[in-house]
A and B are shown apart, each in its own frame.
Chain A
């Protein structure tokens, strides 16, 4: 049991190779000059050929942003960001928007192939027609740096009246919908990063499910940051009209770079009467190396409004990447009997930091919310669960159940739980449970004595710890997420 140096080398090798998405793609891109000012905002808006009202909205946001201060309440630490030292627009160089996949730069398609995204419509279709019982098809919108490059399955969805396209395209083709709902859940004055996003967002996905339609396939967006020194500010807007249902998946990767990159997205969900939105994320942005150099700053605002009665919004997230995560997918439970759910697995290793959680705002009668948060910390990582449950006076009969568990690997990491509970209705019932556990040497030895390698043992224990959340993911994602859980913790023991 000597051989220490070899072990260390092996661990290092594993850690270094573990971020397998850390390649860059060589594509000439159309980049705005560095820096942020009103001209840049106008440049972005002009690039997108936007209507006047949208430009005005962006400028209003920009002016508010100038008066705001970066939030400091989160339990994360990072050197100040120089907002003038980044590009706010980077598009793969292309004269016109591609009409079909054949017009998309093959380099781009190759990148997505490397990421394992089934972008080629033909292939997907072939897979579906081949066997009826296979997993349902997935429609994919791919966002590369700031621009949405291809949306598959569009025609099939259009037949049902479902709109699934880049938000820049929706601005052109469905301006009324965009105007009605954009900023209606996350107003342009909301918070530092969201307000910045309003000013400079470049692209993202737009989904509209018409009344009574059950979307027949998972809708999915893959985000990829490729360009150096770019921030990514995508904007997603999903509207589920009365009685409709949609399940939406979001996946993210970024190349391995030494400098930090900012990702400040905004996601808005609107569920009308009897509608359900299920939003799942597997976030695997580059986390930086073991010493904490590089990696993505993931400062994201995600919020859903259960506007209609009996509506439901369910957030499921598996967060394994990013150097810093600052993220609180929330639900505003306005409609009577509406339901909000938050299922989260957050894994931090090495020097990653995460401050994540949710907000459940109960406004309507008999609104219910469930929070299940599983935090895993290894290495020197720090993690905080921060959750707010707020019951307003009219939320007669509101219910919340929160389960918040932390698992520590090693003794140099930290996990913290910060629940905020505000109840202004006496009939409301709020339950909060929290546990902290550690993977012990005894457990690891026990597994190894049964023939299970140390890394598989960690993966087994961690997957067991978060299975309540993983089972909420759509099938296609669940397997990927399980593997990711293993990979993210490689080299965390021994």
Chain B
């Protein structure tokens, strides 16, 4: 279980998160929506442990542990995965090499045996096929020269390979064409399980037709201002965020 309590965070001296409260139980999918600049990506970075995102108050408990005390790589090894809003390019490092290094680092942390080349390739082939990605993309350097949609698909592939316990998807749907959206959503749904929780950040209710959330939250001006079921997303689509005092906050 993940419990975010009264979380405050600063970036560059500016208060961005101003008391976020959120509880996510195993197996649940929570969607977060909210206007641009509300602090959605900031929340995901704080959860993943990015430098420069200073927590000034509050706590995050992750399966009984203090998540905020862990290094980013420890969090990853403990099962926290962030699909980036803007995936990063790493020239010279083949996608395959990157994934193999990542999975073996996490396995090592968990005291599991590292995968050898054969085992890894087998796993990778399965996942790649399910996501309709080409082998050619695996040989290329991580995200280098990938189209916007391909990058998002690549994030989904990484998630599928690493099998996290808590996945945060930051606008993984933006930039995807209609077919890709379906494929990625299927990939995400395939990962849904009673042990796995997800936090899906999106601007479009359309995604939630494919990945049906248990809860929808509105994050505005650094706070969760409204929570509800899947219907909340439809409401937002109709009325926008003006009911949440966004204009004053901005």
Which residues from chain A sit less than 8 Å from chain B, CB to CB?
1, 437, 440-443, 445-454, 456, 460-461, 464-465, 467
Contacts and interface: CB of A to CB of B under 8 A. Distances in A.
Contact of B92 (A447, A451, A467): A467
A451 B98 CA distance: 11
A443 B88 CA distance: 6
Contacts of B105: 450-453, 456
Interface residues of B, number: 33
Max count, chain A CB within 10 A of own CB: residue among B75, B94, B103, B105: B105
Given A445-B51, A449-B73, A450-B102, 14 more contacts: A1-B51, A445-B48, A447-B102, A448-B71, A448-B76, A449-B49, A449-B72, A449-B75, A449-B81, A451-B105, A451-B162, A453-B73, A460-B101, A461-B92
B137 interface: no
B76 A449 contact: yes
B76 A450 contact: yes
Contact of A464 (B73, B97, B103): B97
Contacts of B93: 460-461, 464
Contact of A451 (B54, B73, B84, B88): B73
Interface in B42-74: 48-51, 54, 71-73
A446 B90 CA distance: 9
A460 B49 contact: no
Contacts of A447: 90, 98, 102
B106 interface: yes
B90 A443 contact: yes
A245 B92 CA distance: 32
B51 A451 contact: no
B51 A441 contact: yes
B221 interface: no
B97 A460 contact: yes
Contacts of A440: 88
B49 to A, nearest CB: 7
A176 B42 CA distance: 75
Max count, chain B CB within 10 A of own CB: residue among A443, A452, A453: A452
B91 interface: yes
B134 to A, nearest CB: 21
A464 B77 contact: no
A441 B52 CA distance: 10
B88 to A, nearest CB: 4
Interface in B78-120: 81-82, 84, 87-94, 97-98, 101-103, 105-106, 109
A464 B81 CA distance: 24
A460 B98 contact: yes
Contact of A448 (B72, B81, B89, B103): B72
Contacts of A450: 76, 98, 102, 105, 158, 162
A406 to B, nearest CB: 13
B180 interface: no
A338 B91 CA distance: 33
Contacts of B89: 443
Given A464-B97, A465-B92, A452 B50 contact: no
A451 B141 contact: no
A454 B103 CA distance: 15
A468 to B, nearest CB: 9
A459 B89 CA distance: 16
Contact of B106 (A446, A451, A454, A467): A451
